[in-house]
Every structure is written in C-alpha cells, then in structure tokens.
Structure 1
Amino acid sequence: MTSPRSRTLYLFASAAPPVFDLAQVVEAAQGDGGWNVCVGLTPTAARWIEGGLEGGLGGLEALTGHPVRSEYKLPGEPDAWPPADAILFAPATFNSLNSWALGLTSSFVVGVAAEAIGKGIPTVTVPCVNAAYARHRQFDRSVEELREQGVVVLYGEGGFIPNPAGSGVPKGYPWGVALGAVEGVVSGRRNPTRSTASGDA
C-alpha cells in the first residue's frame, strides 16, 4: 500500500511486451514523481499480466494500493479510483491507438483516454507497433489525429521507433522519456480539468 500522494496518474497499457515493465514503471512514478498511480489495462493485457508477471494483477494492486481495472464499472457502482491529474497510455498497440483516435471505446482504458481529451486531462501515449503495422496508412492518421486533439504522442525521433516485424521484443522502450513527458504536460497546464474513472461510454 502506498502512502497518500497529491497527484494521481492513470497508467494505462495494452497487450505488448513492455507491459511486463509496469511494476518498475509504477515504482519510478511513485518515487521520482511522487505520483499516486492507478493501473488500467485492456482485457488482453490483464490476461498477460496475470499469467506472465510475478505477483500478477494482485502484485500491481499491492504496489499501487488501488484495484487494477480492465472493465467498465457497472451502473451505480462508485468510482474505484481518485480523479486523474494525468494519463500515460503505454504501451499503446496498433488496435488501441487506432480505436482511441477513431472514438471506438469498447475497451475501458480507451474509453477513459478518449473522454480525457474532452476534459482537458494532460495525456501522453507511447505506441508499440512493429514496422509492418506502422506502414498501414491508418496508423499515421491516428497519430496525427491524437496530436491534433492535444495528446502527446511519443512516436518517431525521441520516442518509440518501430522494430521490423518478427524481430521480437522491442529494445529500449522509452519509459523514462514517457514519464518525463508526463511531468512536462502537467507543468505546462496550470489548472487541468480533472478526470474521473467512471468510464461512462
């Protein structure tokens, strides 16, 4: 259980290999940034974590002091998380990023991230796609759409560079750059509108 912190970061992730770094990322955000971290996952990412990360979802819950969420809450259920001061969506897969840009909110984390645009929540995302997916025309369109709506997309020089299809786990996923970008967008907004985790969609 973490001690109370004044700022809350929603750390969202979809199913790509860097999702297995989440425990270390939570600890870095808590220690360096003093963030109160809430972890949200796509359903597939939640299955990956439960089956492939030491401690599984329970380990992340113990580390953050909050439930890990991968589904929308039922009508009438109270919010399980405090309001967000910022969102980091990383890794964001081809499917998640395109769904977000197109406003397709079947996934809880995509729905909250889409809602955050309208609420003015400082949001950073780091894609995780291979070069074959990156050549699909919709991917560049989605990156530009999110950027035009105020999302910081760390893709290209200084961010995520796609690896060739079939080459295995991407090396050097830019977690440090991502956390630094979160600090940058928060410090650049004096009175950001605060989000809730209601996930109404």
Structure 2
Amino acid sequence: MTRTLYLISCAAPPSRHAATGIRAAQAAGWDVCLILSPRAYRWAQEDGGEKELDELRELTGHPVRYDYKLPSERDVLPKPDALLVAPATLNTLTKWADGHADTLALGLVTEGLGLPLPIVALPYLNNAQAQHPALPRAVATLRAAGVRVLLEDGTPEGSGGFRPHPPQHGNVTAYPWGYAIATLPSAP
C-alpha cells in the first residue's frame, strides 16, 4: 500500500520547482498531493498558466489544491500519512507557530500538529529574514510540537537542512529536496 505525502509549498522560489520535490518523493515511494499557498498558486499560474498546473496535476495524479473546499464538497485528496512543508517561508513558520489557519496550507499544518503524522518543514529564507526575532521562537515552538524543522540555525536540532543565504542570492537548484524527503519515514 502506497503512503500519501502532502507537499505543501509556500511562495518562495523553490515552489516554482515543486516538480523536483514531487519526483524525489515519488522515487522514495510516496503518493504525492501538492498543496500550494494562495500566492504560490498565483505564481504557478503566472509562470505557465493552466499548463503548468495541468502538468503538476498529471505528475501527481491529483488536483493541485490551494484553497479550502466548501462544506458541501467532498475531499478530493486521500488522507495524508506525512506532511512536508517545502519551501516554508518566514511568514508560514511564524503564522503556523501562532496557530493561524487563514489559508488551506496553514490550516493543514496547524491541524497536523494534533494528528499522529510526521511533519517536516524545509525553510527557504535569506539572512535578513533569518534575523527576524520571531523566527527562533517559531522554530522552537514547532520543534517542541514535534515538527522536524530543517534549518541550520546553530541549535542541536538545526544541524542540517537549509542554510539561509544573502538576500537576492539564493540558489534554487541547490534547495535540498532530497534531504527533506530522506528525513521522512520510509514509504512502503
């Protein structure tokens, strides 16, 4: 039986390369469902219009979700066995830690803290964002709740993962999708 991974991508440059993360997770045996933050969904529409979204739907075999469904609508995605938030932005990490659920992406991860699911967050931040005083508190809160936050931040828990880069000098092709996938429990 295949296990289902929700890949939740927020509006940072790696979200434009979500197919890379999807393929890596599929190679590790996961059935991947892609959930985009509303801004990341807008970016995907801007990049390639519906063609890019159609390609992501075809790659996953599932609809690409970005907004809450209506109460009368049925769920179109299988239930997740794990969550991977990649890229996780400063906005997402701080709102998540504070319990905000104003988007589908945030709703899934805030609820995920109360479910018996493995959750991994792979940030994408620049050095200036990483200096924001809300970040260490958010990361500590999420880690205390059981989230594997893969951020090199000088703490024992942050000994691997993403290392913030100078503003406007990020290397999207070096984003460690494979490292994040490897931290998830093995899919059968």
Name the TM-score, length of structure 1 as normaliser: 0.85
Question: What is residue 183 of structure 1 aligned with on the other side?
Answer: 185
What amino acid does structure 1 have at the position aligned with 2:176?
A: P
Q: CA deviation at 1:75?
A: 1.0
Offset, 1:121: 1.1
- Residue in structure 2 matched with residue 38 of structure 1 by the alignment: 33
SS across alignment from 1:183: coil
Amino acid at match of 1:132: A
Q: Which residue of 1 aligns with 2:128?
A: 132
| Map of 1:65 onto structure 2 | 61
Q: Distance in 2 between matches of 1:10 and 1:116?
A: 11
Alpha-carbon deviation of 1:138?
Answer: 0.4
What is the root-mean-square deviation of aligned Cα atoms in Å?
A: 1.8
* Cα drift, residue 170 of structure 1: 4.9
Contact (CA 8 Å) 1:17, 1:169: kept in 2 or not?
Answer: no
Q: Which runs of 4+ in 1 moved over 3 A?
A: 168-171
- Give 1:42-121 correspondences, 5 Å limit: 42-53=37-48, 55-121=51-117
Segment drifting more, 162-171 vs 135-144: 162-171
- Match of residue 16, structure 2, among 16, 20, 45: 20
Match of 1:8, SS? Answer: strand
The alignment covers a number of residue pairs equal to 181
Q: Quick one: percent identity of the two aligned structures?
A: 44
Shift of 1:183: 2.6
Q: Does the CA contact (< 8 Å) of 1:20 and 1:53 recur in 2?
A: no
5+ residue gaps in structure 2?
A: 153-158
1:53 Cα deviation after fit: 4.9
Tell me, in whole angstroms, the C-alpha distance in 2 between the residues paired with 1:183 and 1:53: 33
TM-score (norm 2): 0.90
Contact kept? 2:20, 2:177, Cα under 8 Å: no
Residue type at the aligned position of 1:87: L
Q: State the SS of the aligned residue for 2:113.
A: helix
Instruction: From the superposition, tell whether residues 100 and 118 of structure 1 become closer, same or farther in structure 2 (CA, over 3 Å).
Output: same
C-alpha distance in 2 between matches for 1:161 and 1:50: 29
8 Å contact kept, 2:12–2:124: yes
3-state SS of paired residue (1:118): coil
User: Structure 1: how far apart are the matches of 2:175 and 2:99?
Assistant: 26
Report the AA paired with residue 162 of structure 1: P
User: Is the CA contact (8 Å cut-off) linking 1:91 and 1:126 kept in structure 2?
Assistant: yes
Q: Deviations over 1:137-194 (max 9, x none)?
A: 101110000000000000003211111123344562111110001136x79xxxxxxx
Equivalence for 2:167: 165
State the SS of the aligned residue for 1:95.
Answer: helix
Code of the residue aligned with 2:33 in structure 1: it is: C
| Pair 137,123 (structure 1): closer, same or farther in 2 beyond 3 Å | same
Change (3 A) 1:127 1:147: same
